[in-house]
Structures are given as C-alpha cells and as structure tokens.
Amino acid sequence: MTRSTKRAVRDGALAVFWLWFGARLLNDWFGGVFVAAGEPFFDPQPVADASTALREAVAGTGVLGEPVGWVANGLGSLSFAMTYLPDLAAGAWLTVVLTIFATIFGLVLAVPLAAARVYGRVTHWVALAFIELIRGTPLLAQLFVLYYALPLSRWFAAVPYLGSGIVPEQAVWVAVVGFTINSAAYQAEYIRGSIEGIDPGQLVAARSIGLSRVQGIRYVVMPQALRFAIPSWTNELVYLTKYSSLAAFITVGELFHAARAAAYANYRFLDLFLLAAVVYLALVLSATTVMEWVRGRVAIPGVGGSGDGRMSAD
C-alpha cells in the first residue's frame, strides 16, 4: 500500500469509529434517540445465529470447512462486539473527558512552569523540584495520594450537579486533577526543551525593540516554542489516553473499568480486553491524526520542525 492509501484507510476507519461513537453518546444521553439507551444499534442475535449455523453446517467436513469456520468465528466475534460495544462506549467517553481536560489544564500550568524552569531564579528551583518529583513517581501512586489521602473527593462531592446528567461524578474530577498535575510536569519539560531550542538571539532582539523580558518571552519565544512542542504533545495525548486507564483503580468507570466489569459478568476476558484495546487504538490514532492536522495548520513557513519537511526523508 502506498502512503496515501494507508492514510485514506486510516481516516476512513477513524471516521466510522467517530460516527458510531458520536451517535452512541447522543443516543444514550438523550434517553434513546434511535434505540433504547445502552442497547446495540443493530440486533446482534441474527449475526450470532448465522455464526452458529455456519459452524454447524461445516462441522465434520475437516480441512475443507476450515475457511468457513474462520468466517463463523469472525461473525461470532462481531456479534460479541455488537453486544458489548455500548458498554465500552460509556467508558470511552470518560477516557476522552479525562484526556482532554488533563491536556488542556496541564498546558495552562505547564507554560508558566516551563518559563520558570528556564528563566526563573527562585522559581527555577520550585519548578524543577515539582517537575522532577512528579516525573519520578508513578502516576498510580499519585492518584492514590489524591484519592485516598487527601479530602479532594469530599470537596468535589459538595459541588452541585456533579454526577448528575452527563456531568461526571467526583472520582472523575479527582482523576482529572491527578492527570492534570502529572501532565503539567511532562508538558513543562517538552516546552522547556523547545524554549531551549530557540535561538537566544530571538529574546535579545525582542529586548532591543523595547519589549520587557516577560513580554519578550510571551510574544516572541513562546509562540515559537509552543509550535516546536507540538510533536511532543502528540505523545502526551497518546500517553494520557492510555494511562487514563489507571483511573479505574480510583473507581472511575472509564474504558478499562467498563471492559473489566463486563468481563467479570461473562468471563470472556480475552474478547473484552481485546475489544477495549481496539477502542484505545482508535482513540490513540485519532489523537495522532488530529495533531498531525494541527501541526500543518500552525506551521510557520521556513521554520523547521513545524512543517512536514522531515517527512520527505522516507
């Protein structure tokens, strides 16, 4: 396959995924627009029947029947997926919420952290200590500290409307806090790297036209540095999508949690975890695809690292 057909296949698959995911969420939030909330869009039973029928038809035909057996297995998996995907969709929604909130809030914290790390004097050490401590300890331990050791959960419980309608309950917000703090430390490091990659002459030139130091950082250095950091953000989105699964351990009903709950109900661990893996993969590919697009949109002509100049190498 050529590069462009691969890309078309990927975009097509993602389009199907999001069409389904969007329809699923709308349907379930608004109490069953197309079908009853939480019910499959199409009845999986006929597919399951077809699978069983095929399998019975070729039973005992030996090697000849094998390819038909594969089709039967495929149909079996399909009917299974159709049955449980609605459950996983609800979990995937929380995965998306966690990822997006943590990335955005994390960015808001990361920009000043990075600036302090590079340009600060006292704040340099504060930022450095925060970044290194967070990056040097496991995310799951951080979540446990927030959830079990601090009264965050109780504070969130006091906030009105939390947990009602489509507003997620308090544990989700504890997780958002945890992922935000974690992500801020990583994003600060990415941005620091990009700031240091920018010619110091840029800041000197900014000062020479009369901008203050902070203005120079704000209007000249950061706009360039943030563009350079985009490839790292792609990694960060991917990282958060995957590691948001850890929220399952502080009772958040995200994608992994949903798959595990379903698996305990029917003991089909392999099928459900593989199904979850496929959904994670779709989310991860969506993240990289979107970031690719963003990178193209904000590219500065002639500035390396922002266009797709590097891609010509392969």
Binding site for another protein (CB under 8 A): 132-133, 135-142, 144-145, 148-150, 238, 241-243, 245-246, 248-249, 256, 259-260, 263, 269-270, 273-274, 276-277, 280-281, 284-285
d(CA 108, CA 54): 56
The distance of closest approach from Cβ of residue 229 to another protein in the complex, given in angstroms and rounded to an integer, is 17
Q: Which is nearer to another protein, 203 or 258 (CB)?
A: 258
The distance of closest approach from Cβ of residue 285 to another protein in the complex, given in angstroms and rounded to an integer, is 7
d(CA 263, CA 269): 5
The distance of closest approach from Cβ of residue 219 to another protein in the complex, given in angstroms and rounded to an integer, is 33
Q: Which is nearer to another protein, 216 or 280 (CB)?
A: 280
Q: Which is nearer to another protein, 10 or 218 (CB)?
A: 10
The distance of closest approach from Cβ of residue 224 to another protein in the complex, given in angstroms and rounded to an integer, is 25
The distance of closest approach from Cβ of residue 29 to another protein in the complex, given in angstroms and rounded to an integer, is 26
Q: What are the structure tokens assigned to 24, written together?
A: 């699923």
Q: Which is nearer to another protein, 68 or 157 (CB)?
A: 157
**C-beta separation of 195 from 218 below 8 A:** no
Q: Which is nearer to another protein, 63 or 313 (CB)?
A: 313
The distance of closest approach from Cβ of residue 158 to another protein in the complex, given in angstroms and rounded to an integer, is 20
Q: Which is nearer to another protein, 30 or 269 (CB)?
A: 269
The distance of closest approach from Cβ of residue 131 to another protein in the complex, given in angstroms and rounded to an integer, is 12
Q: Which is nearer to another protein, 136 or 302 (CB)?
A: 136
